[in-house]
Amino acid sequence: MKIGIPLEPEDETRVAIVPGSMKKLSKAGFEVYVEKGAGLKANYSDSDYSESGANVVNRDSVLDCDILISIRLPDVDALRSGQIIACVADPFRHPEKVKSCIKKGITLMSMDMIPRRLSRAQSMDVNSSQDNLAGYKAVLLGAAHVPRGIPMMTTSAGTVRPAKVVIMGSGVAGLQAIATAKRIGAIVYASDVRKSAAEQIESVGGRFIEVDGMDDFEDEAGYAKPLTPEFIQKVNDTVCEVASDADIIVTTARIFGRPAPITVPSNAVSNFKSGAVVVDMNADVGGNCEMTKQGEVYTTDNGVIIVGTSNLPGTLANTASMLYSNNLTTFITSLVDKENGFTISEEDDILVGAPEGNDFHVPGMGGVLICKDGELHPKQTRLGGVL
C-alpha cells in the first residue's frame, strides 16, 4: 500500500514521518510518498527522504495515497472515499472534522485517543512523546525569560541563591518539567490533583504540594478527572500561595477533550512578584492562566511575564518529528498481518478499546479508530454525544 506524508499547515513545523522510519515501513511492505518540502522545517531535506527510499512528489500525488499519516488532519475536501488517515484529530474539540470524514467515506484514526494504559500502546503513544518535549521546553522558556540565574552560584562577588520553580500538574509533561528544572539547579515544588503523583514528583526531585482534602482525582484512562468548582478554588489558593514568591511557574493541567481549567486566576498573578514568569502549556486550549494570550509573550502591569507559546513540541521540531514518526511507524506496521496484509481488525484493543470487563476498559471510550469507511465506530459512544 501507498503511504502519503503531506506538508503540514504553515503554523506546524513538525513532519509526521522522518527518513529514519523508511526502512521499517518498506520492510512492512509500504511505499512512502512524501510531499516536497514536508520535512524542511524540521531539518529533514527532500534528499534525505530520497536517499532513504521515499518518493518525493507533489501534493496531489501524496493526497491520492491509500493511507495518509500526518500531524494535523488534512483538508478532507481534497480526499476521496476509502482513504485512511492516521493523525492527531482532537475529535472532541473538532467534531465537524469527524463529520466531514464520515460524509466523505474516510477511515479516521486519531492517535491522541491511544489507550495509554495498554502496555502494547506505550510505544505508539504520541501524547506522551510530545508532552515530554513540551514539559522540557516549557522550563527552558521560563529560564530564558526570567531575569535572574537559575542554579546556586558561589562567586567572589557573592552567592546567588537557586531559583524557585513551581510546576502545576505532574502528568507526563509536568514530570519532565520538574526533572528539567531540577537538572538546571532550581528548587522545585509541584502539585497535582492525583494524590498518587506525590511519589512520582519526589522521584524526579520535586517537593509535593499537598492540598487538604485531596483525593485521587484520576479516571480509568489515567487522566485527571474534572473537579468541583470548590475544590478547584482550594487547589488554586494553596498552590498559588506557594507560587507567590516563585521565579518560574509552569502550568500543565489539561483535561482530555475539555477546555483547560483555570489554575492561575488573575488575582493570583497580581500577587506574584515582579520578574516572575508564568509559562502556560495549554494556551492552545484556553490556557490555565486567566491572563494568558495565545501565541503571545507579554508583561503584566505588575511585572509578571506571561508566556503563551502554542505548540511547544513544534519548537523542537526535529526531535518531536523523530519521536512522532517512531510512534506512528510502530502503530501502522502493527496493522500489517503476514497472511492478510494491512488489516483494521475489530479485535485490536488499540483500535477499538479494550473489551468490557478488562482492567483497561473505560466506559464509553473507544480506541484510535474514530470512523471506518464513513461510519462512526460503535465504541466511540462519547463522540456519538458530540456529533
Sheet holding 84-87, edge to edge: 55-57, 31-35, 2-5, 67-69, 84-87, 107-110, 369-372, 375-376
Active-site choice (128, 129, 130, 200): 128
DSSP state of 112: G
The reply to whether 125 belongs to the active site is yes
Helices 126-145 and 317-334: angle between axes, nearest 10 degrees:
170
Q: Are 314 and 78 in contact (CB under 8 A)?
A: no
294 is an active site residue:
no
- Radius of gyration, CA atoms only, the chain: 22
Active-site residue, selected from the candidate residues 14, 48, 83, 125: 125
DSSP E strands: which ranges in the chain? 2-5, 31-35, 55-57, 67-69, 84-87, 107-110, 153-155, 158-160, 164-168, 187-191, 207-208, 248-251, 277-280, 297-299, 305-307, 336-337, 341-342, 369-372, 375-376
- Which listed residue (44, 49, 223, 324) is catalytic? 223
Question: Is-catalytic flag, 128?
Answer: yes
Any idea which residue has 493511507 for its cell? 67
Known active-site residue 223: yes
Phi, psi of 276, deg, nearest 5: -65, 150
Q: Whole-angstrom Cα distance, residue 247 to residue 237?
A: 18
Q: Residues 122, 123, 244, 310: which is the catalytic one?
A: 122
CA 284 – CA 297 distance, rounded (Å): 14
Distance CA 166, CA 202 (A): 13
Verify whether residue 254 is a known catalytic residue. no
H helix intervals, the chain: 22-27, 46-51, 59-63, 95-104, 126-145, 172-183, 197-203, 229-243, 266-269, 317-334, 349-352, 381-384
Q: Which of 116, 117, 183, 382 is catalytic?
A: 116
The answer to whether 34 and 47 have CB atoms below 8 angstroms apart is no
Catalytic positions are 116, 122, 125, 128, 223
